[in-house]
Amino acid sequence: MAVEREVEVMAGQARLGGTLAVPEGARGLVIFAHGSGSSRHSPRNRYVAYSLRMAGLGTLLFDLLTEDEEALDEVTAELRFDIGFLAKRLAEVTDWVFANPELRQLNVGYFGSSTGAAAALVAAAERTDEIGAVVSRGGRPDLAGEALERVMAPTLFVVGGADDIVLDLNQRALERLRAPMRAMEVIPGATHLFPEPGALERVAELAAGWFRRFLVGLPLGQETRPSAP
């Protein structure tokens, strides 16, 4: 089991806090793009990251915004829905990963939630030869706009069955995707944040299976399914 460590992630001129963990022998790294008003400390994303590491994948959670940007956004909310800005920030963090000797040999995928899912799709559309897979949890892929039609990475949308509006938006976005491998999994009875018993575990299981299959070409074993804290 990989040990988490805090890192300073460079995104252009911005210095961002990050949490990195790479299990021994890992062949893939999943970069997380959190949703609006969240951070790398999101308990939901941290649980999914833990599950991915149990499946042999490396994880990088980072803060999309600097402290000054977060303070501005708390007042104006102008950055959390600026998908172009968030996608550019994610792309810059991806550049940091590719420039890191410790990480550059790993296949890279994106895990996005809420507005972070749109940013992940836009960034993936610009890096069709570098991003191996994308998973969206309760995401807003509709906000990716025309970039949806340029995403080539295998893409999975995971949506709560009781999250009616987001479910409809995901169905519409799925129809616009042109990625050769694309799918949507609906978790019955789950709402937007997946707080229902077993819902987040199912999200983590689906994400691990998708990344194992398309990022590193391995099946998901029964032993890689931890219980939610």
Q: Would you tell me how many other CB atoms lie within 10 Å of the CB of residue 49? A: 25
The string of pLDDT tens digits covering residues 66-107 is 888 888 777 777 787 899 999 999 999 999 999 999 999 999
- Rounded Cα distance between 170 and 177, Å, is 10
- Which residue did the predictor score with more confidence, 177 or 225? 177
Q: Is residue 197 part of a domain?
A: yes
Q: Is residue 33 part of a domain?
A: yes
Q: What is the mean pLDDT of the chain?
A: 91
- Rounded Cα distance between 194 and 123, Å, is 25
Contact of 137 with 207, CB cutoff 8 Å: yes
The per-residue pLDDT for 224 is: 42
Q: Is residue 83 part of a domain?
A: yes
Give the domain extent around 210. 5-224
Q: Is residue 70 part of a domain?
A: yes
Kindly indicate the confidence band of residue 1, based on its pLDDT and cuts at 50, 70 and 90.
Answer: low
User: What does the pLDDT average to over 47-74?
Assistant: 90
Contact of 186 with 167, CB cutoff 8 Å: yes
What are the backbone dihedrals phi and psi of residue 84, each rounded to the nearest 5 degrees, phi first? -60, -45
- Which residue did the predictor score with more confidence, 12 or 48? 48
The per-residue pLDDT for 37 is: 61
User: What does the pLDDT average to over 19-23?
Assistant: 96
Burial 139-176 (b: 16+ CB within 10 A, else e): bbbbbbbebbebbbbbbbbbbbebbeebbebbeebbeb
Total structural domains in the chain? 1
Q: Is residue 229 part of a domain?
A: no
Out of 6-15, 119-128, 140-149, 218-227, least confident range: 218-227
Alpha carbon 122 to its chain centroid, in Å, reads 12
**CATH number of residue 72's parent domain:** 3.40.50.1820
Q: Is residue 42 part of a domain?
A: yes
The per-residue pLDDT for 229 is: 40
The per-residue pLDDT for 26 is: 95
List, in sequence order, every residue forming a beta bridge with 185; answer none if it has no partner.
Answer: 158
The string of pLDDT tens digits covering residues 25-35 is 999 999 999 87
The per-residue pLDDT for 38 is: 63
Is a pLDDT exceeding 60 seen at residue 196?
A: yes
Residue owning tokens 């210095």? 15
Q: Is residue 52 part of a domain?
A: yes
The per-residue pLDDT for 154 is: 98
The per-residue pLDDT for 223 is: 38
The per-residue pLDDT for 182 is: 97
- Cα distances from 8 to residues 63, 193, 229, in angstroms, run 10, 28, 27
Element (H, E) at 219: none
The per-residue pLDDT for 222 is: 39
The per-residue pLDDT for 36 is: 65
Is a pLDDT exceeding 50 seen at residue 228?
A: no
